Amino acid sequence: MARVTVEDCVLKVPNRFDLVMLAAQRARDVSSGAELTVERDNDKDPVIALREIAEETVDLTVLADSLVKGHQRQIEFDVPEEELPDFELPQVPGELTAQPATPAEAPVEAPAEAPVEPPVTAETAAEEPADEPAEPGEADEPANKLEAGALEDEPE
């Protein structure tokens, strides 16, 4: 029995990556019940796929198309969409409806802006009083537990 080598198939499909992808797809097709174009000869599905490619008994473009369709995540259908009729909601008397305002009717409101503080410079910093602690002993205590832990762990 003659074994199919990659060299036989590379003559038909020059790119080895494409060859592997096409042979794998054909092997999947064979294992799912596709009709064989060569004799089985007690070979496994990948070997049969390579033999079919080498002997050109399968159409490679059809095989490539089925490979692409098998890897697509979103399947596109060529069914034309029906045109949907325009539906209008019935108006209930006395109900408010949302209608676009004309420029003359629409009130123009400026967006609320946050107050902008002037930048701190050396001159303005000297004029402002420094924040003093409320109690005399508070300045010696750390502001939070993280600082307290960091101060205790420092080497002397």
Q: What CATH number is attached to the domain comprising 22?
A: 3.90.940.10
Distances (CA, A) of 114 to 73, 111, 117, 124: 48, 10, 9, 21
Question: Is 45 inside any structural domain?
Answer: yes
Question: Is 154 inside any structural domain?
Answer: no
State the pLDDT at residue 38.
92
Question: Is 12 inside any structural domain?
Answer: yes
Calpha distance 62→53 (Å, rounded): 12
* pLDDT exceeds cutoff 70 at 22: yes
CB atoms within 10 A of CB 66: 16
State the pLDDT at residue 8.
87
- 68-116 pLDDT tens trace: 988 888 766 666 666 666 667 667 766 655 555 555 555 566 666 667 7
